[in-house]
Structure 1
Amino acid sequence: MDLCEAKLEVKQLLSRVKNRDLSRLLQWVRESDDLDELLSDNRRKILQNISEDLRGSKPTVHVDSFLYDEEEVDSLCDEGSLSRSYCLSCGSTRTAPLDFLSHSFSIPELHFLFESVLPDLSGRVLVDVGSRLGAGYVFSSASRLVGLEISEEFVKLQENIVQKYTMTDRIQVLHSDVRLQNVLLQNADVLVLNNVFEYFLPPEEQMLLPPCWVEELPLDYDVYLGKDTDPDALRQIHLYRVL
């Protein structure tokens, strides 16, 4: 059924619910995990399995949204594996809150990127700076997915995951700096960048980037991807056309 038919079905169902139970039903819809489990598909489960595999290899000092959601970070802090404070002066008991920063998309953000932001990628080439390609494999039909990773350690981690989940038919991970891959970028249909300019280029280098080289395209952020989705995080995702 389409959206209009679904809305009609929901209204008809709610009209048959006893008045004393209506508020409890609406609360269940808002708070229960049952609907998320019903809507969960095998693709997200694959990504969750990949994140669990990577956790064993990646030190917890790297707080990665793909590997650790907010609840898992809270659990790590509660058990003492991760601290939310840092020392302001060596040897002192003076501390201040520590902000967690991630340079990776979470699973809901990846779902939104490939299901709602990007068009059908059949026959297309996608290049991801940071080599997080599992989502591209399970959520898209891109013919070629190329990850550029400057860290040799992360290249090995990605290659192990690609081999384990038999994704070698479409995924390639390159140990390289994106600035050295002119030919690859010229032949790419989609380029995925996450926090690249703001966190990995000093201000003086940002100023050297040519102005007006991209055009921002409108996106529809009014989507539901599960109760663990952060609407504000989705609004940090933007789509640009290279001019």
Structure 2
Amino acid sequence: MVRAEVALKCRNSSRSRDSEEGAGLRASAAWGGGSVVAAGLRLRVRGAHLPCAAFCCNMELSAARQAILQLLHTVAPADRPALLEWMRTSRDFDEFTHDNNDSMLKSIAEDLRNCLPLETMLSSEHLALQKIQQQPEPTVHVDAFLYDEDSIDSLCEEGKMSRNYCVVCGSYQTAPLGFISHSFSLMELKFIYHHVLPDLSGKLLVDVGSRLGTVLYGGYLYSSALQLYGVELNGDFCQLQEMIIKKYQFTDRIKVLHADICTQDSLLQNADVIIMNNVFEYFLDEAEQARAWECISHNVRKQGSLLVTVPSLEESLSGLQVSIQLSSWVEEVPLNYDVYPEKDINREALEQIHLYKIL
């Protein structure tokens, strides 16, 4: 079992310690050069003399914070609310913050790797472990958020993992192992928040089966969603998510509920975006899957709200005894999978992501 008191003692990386020292880096990185602010704003500024420090590059965090506060004091009071709203929702800072956001997610992944076994499966996930073992070909669980292709290559070189299995023990007849993940990779998170979903300012996003919380952390860093809710049935994973949320100071917008999604009717009814990644197939038997899907189709009826799924709804519902008519419930929205250079992406993984609009 993963206990909160144990998880909190997980080894900290240097990157994660940096994150502890100032989650405000997310904001300050966008303001590294004060001249960007001066050039970009068309606001009434009082006649106060701005300190030259406000326009210096490569400031330390404390100096950058002070410069921002000093600059805000020079803005006409009537314009401050509009300026603060612009700072909160604008995409003008993306080029400054994306690298920092990527680094923060990689730091979170390192923290989680230090708290979990290599296969990222817990002993409390009895059914999921059993279903993976029952796959027609040998399959291993490799969390895509924690281990990218380079990490897997390194683990294989160290003898801690293999991409192949022996067809006849002791022979040279080998075949590729099947890999399965219940988390989005960093690339997939960026694809979802930058290219699949629209601007989420003021919106409520729900991740069904939030597991390690990757969708929530990505939503916090890559979107302006007002609230991000994770609903997770496994208490051990809830504790891990709470640890990360507290450490990286995400508590203002992220909430994790230790609950069965079928008990969250109101949350589903009010959600603007719902994300479901391999959420039921490995964790519930067919009767429980059917019950969960009936609950979701009954409550997710807010016209124009969005549903992001892996795999497609058709694949998830096939073989289940449900009375869900997809044609009267949702409309699939075509996605452009060519937004990244081919060499930089796992095209097959992106094509598993589907977007639906509620009718």
Q: Same fold (TM over 0.5)?
A: yes
Which letter does structure 1 place at the counterpart of 2:108? I
Aligned residues: 205
The whole-number CA distance in structure 1 between the counterparts of 2:200 and 2:338 is 22
Q: Which of residues 155, 163, 180 is equivalent to 1:76? A: 155
1:75-114 correspondence runs (5 A): 75-84=154-163, 97-114=176-193
The whole-number CA distance in structure 1 between the counterparts of 2:146 and 2:105 is 10
Query: What's the counterpart of residue 195 of structure 1?
Result: 278
Query: What's the counterpart of residue 148 of structure 1?
Result: 231
Give the C-alpha shift of residue 93 in structure 1.
Answer: 5.2
The whole-number CA distance in structure 1 between the counterparts of 2:97 and 2:228 is 27
1:174-213 correspondence runs (5 A): 174-200=257-283, 202=285, 205=290, 206=317, 207-209=320-322, 210-212=324-326, 213=329
Give unpaired runs (5+ residues) of structure 2: 1-95, 121-141, 291-316
Specify the SS of the correspondent of 1:193: strand
Structure 1 residues 222 and 96 mapped into 2: Cα distance closer, same or farther (>3 Å)?
closer
* Residue 110 of structure 2 is aligned to residue 52 of structure 1: yes
Q: Which of residues 200, 205, 209 is equivalent to 1:130? A: 209
> Contact 2:238–2:256 at 8 Å: present in 1 too?
yes
Cα RMSD (Å) of the superposition?
Answer: 2.7
Specify the SS of the correspondent of 2:256: strand
Which letter does structure 2 place at the counterpart of 1:144? Q
Specify the SS of the correspondent of 2:178: coil
Give the C-alpha shift of residue 129 in structure 1.
Answer: 1.6
> Contact 2:194–2:222 at 8 Å: present in 1 too?
yes
Which letter does structure 2 place at the counterpart of 1:108? M
- Deviations along 1:79-102, one digit per CA (max 9) or x if unpaired, are 12224456889xx65886421111
The whole-number CA distance in structure 1 between the counterparts of 2:357 and 2:149 is 32
TM-score computed with the length of structure 2 as normaliser: 0.52
- Deviations along 1:45-83, one digit per CA (max 9) or x if unpaired, are 111111111110121023100000112112212212224
> Contact 1:127–1:148 at 8 Å: present in 2 too?
yes
> What is the percent sequence identity of the aligned residues?
55
Specify the SS of the correspondent of 1:192: strand
The whole-number CA distance in structure 2 between the counterparts of 1:64 and 1:86 is 19
Which letter does structure 1 place at the counterpart of 2:109? S
1:5-44 correspondence runs (5 A): 41-44=99-102
Structure 1 residues 97 and 221 mapped into 2: Cα distance closer, same or farther (>3 Å)?
closer
> Contact 2:207–2:231 at 8 Å: present in 1 too?
yes
> Contact 1:61–1:82 at 8 Å: present in 2 too?
no
> Contact 1:159–1:173 at 8 Å: present in 2 too?
yes
